[in-house]
């Protein structure tokens, strides 16, 4: 049941949100922010920043992906109220995430961005705290209703939701591959871009297999998405470390994190066993 998945994801987010708050307060009170004029201050965070600040950034990425997974799970339940709340949670997390990145690139000097980051965090804490305890407040009748509205796990219906998720993820990955080759010239970026393009095409092939209920759809979906997650994480780390402009890092990081979240969402939404996808 995907309501249970939302609850598990939200319960995972709650301690991370608390840790994120404590890390942020520690950074504000005890960390001396870098005054480097390096055009890529986010890389400076990892090369010469405080361990607390580095962990703060990493936890932010994890929370953003988890928020996206909650939204994906809510969409598959087909209940408007859950989708609205999950969308609000994801929006608040996105505001906090991108405000935090922009705050770093402002030289840690923008009070408005710092305020937006805190406000987004507070709204997210409320929403995911509500989701985390939702299971205890859900009646048996409501659970039955939710179960009945979930897509059937057997049959030959077209899995439109999973197909769209895979197509969007593949599209982002392919765009990222072209961006690496076109906007960041060099042999290394050309190789990384070529591999990224191949993974994006595999995601498109996976979307086709899922839509057509092919017997090998589960295998190709898991291989493509796990490959994107593993390779994308390493490729993005390299991009952040070597980028020379803020726009390159912000655009690349944002796209990669969304693509990783979508890919993980597809893998988690796949049915078990070796049967063709039919949800």
**For range 59-65, the mean pLDDT:** 95
**For range 23-35, the mean pLDDT:** 86
* DSSP code of residue 184: S
13/140 same-domain check = yes
Q: What is the pLDDT of residues 216-237, one digit of tens each?
A: 999 999 999 999 999 999 998 8
User: What span, in angstroms and rounded, lies between the C-alpha atoms of 40 and 47?
Assistant: 11
38, part of any domain: yes
Q: What is the largest CA-CA distance in the chain?
A: 60
276, part of any domain: no
User: What local confidence, expressed as pLDDT, does residue 140 receive?
Assistant: 43
Boundary residue ending a domain (116, 149, 182): 149
Task: Evaluate if residue 251 carries a pLDDT over 80.
Answer: no
| pLDDT interval class at 1 (50, 70, 90) | low
190, part of any domain: yes
pTM of this structure: 0.83
Quote the mean pLDDT of the chain: 85
Boundary residue ending a domain (124, 149, 174): 149
15/116 same-domain check = yes
145/87 same-domain check = yes
E strands, the chain, are none
User: What local confidence, expressed as pLDDT, does residue 31 receive?
Assistant: 85
166/99 same-domain check = no
14/119 same-domain check = yes
83/114 same-domain check = yes
Task: Give the range of the structural domain holding residue 129, as residue numbers without chain letter.
Answer: 2-149
96/185 same-domain check = no
54/170 same-domain check = no
User: What local confidence, expressed as pLDDT, does residue 150 receive?
Assistant: 47
| pLDDT interval class at 91 (50, 70, 90) | very high
User: What span, in angstroms and rounded, lies between the C-alpha atoms of 205 and 80?
Assistant: 31
Token pair in block for residue 85: 């709340």
25: three-class secondary structure by DSSP: helix
Task: Evaluate if residue 12 carries a pLDDT over 90.
Answer: yes
Task: Evaluate if residue 278 carries a pLDDT over 60.
Answer: no
116/179 same-domain check = no
The number of folded domains in the chain is 2
User: What span, in angstroms and rounded, lies between the C-alpha atoms of 168 and 260?
Assistant: 11
| pLDDT interval class at 56 (50, 70, 90) | very high
Q: What is the pLDDT of residues 108-124, one digit of tens each?
A: 889 999 999 999 999 99
User: What local confidence, expressed as pLDDT, does residue 196 receive?
Assistant: 94
Boundary residue ending a domain (149, 171, 202): 149
Token pair in block for residue 249: 């890092």
Q: What percent of the chain has pLDDT over 70?
A: 85
User: What span, in angstroms and rounded, lies between the C-alpha atoms of 119 and 2?
Assistant: 28
Tell which wins on pLDDT, 144 or 232: 232
User: What span, in angstroms and rounded, lies between the C-alpha atoms of 254 and 172?
Assistant: 10
* DSSP code of residue 108: S
């Amino acid at each position: 049941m995907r309501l249970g998945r939302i609850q598990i994801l939200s319960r995972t987010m709650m301690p991370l949100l608390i840790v994120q708050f404590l890390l942020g307060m520690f950074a504000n009170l005890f960390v001396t922010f870098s005054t480097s004029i390096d055009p890529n201050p986010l890389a400076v965070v990892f090369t010469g920043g405080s361990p607390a600040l580095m962990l703060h950034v990493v936890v932010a990425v994890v929370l953003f992906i988890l928020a996206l997974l909650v939204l994906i799970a809510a969409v598959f339940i087909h209940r408007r109220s859950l989708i609205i709340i999950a969308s609000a949670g994801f929006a608040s997390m996105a505001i906090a995430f991108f405000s935090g990145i922009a705050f770093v690139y402002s030289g840690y000097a923008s009070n408005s961005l710092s305020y937006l980051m805190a406000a987004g965090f507070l709204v997210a804490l409320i929403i995911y705290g509500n989701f985390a305890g939702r299971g205890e407040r859900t009646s048996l009748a409501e659970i039955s209703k939710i179960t009945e509205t979930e897509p059937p796990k057997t049959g030959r219906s077209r899995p439109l939701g999973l197909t769209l998720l895979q197509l969007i993820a593949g599209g982002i990955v392919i765009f990222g591959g072209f961006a690496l080759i076109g906007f960041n010239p060099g042999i290394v970026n050309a190789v990384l871009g070529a591999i990224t393009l191949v993974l994006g095409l595999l995601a498109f092939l996976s979307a086709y297999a899922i839509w057509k209920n092919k017997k090998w759809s589960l295998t190709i979906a898991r291989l493509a998405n796990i490959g994107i997650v593993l390779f994308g994480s390493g490729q993005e780390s390299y991009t952040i470390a070597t980028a020379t402009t803020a726009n390159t890092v912000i655009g690349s990081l944002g796209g990669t994190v969304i693509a990783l979240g979508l890919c993980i969402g597809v893998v988690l939404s796949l049915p078990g066993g070796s049967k063709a996808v039919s949800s």
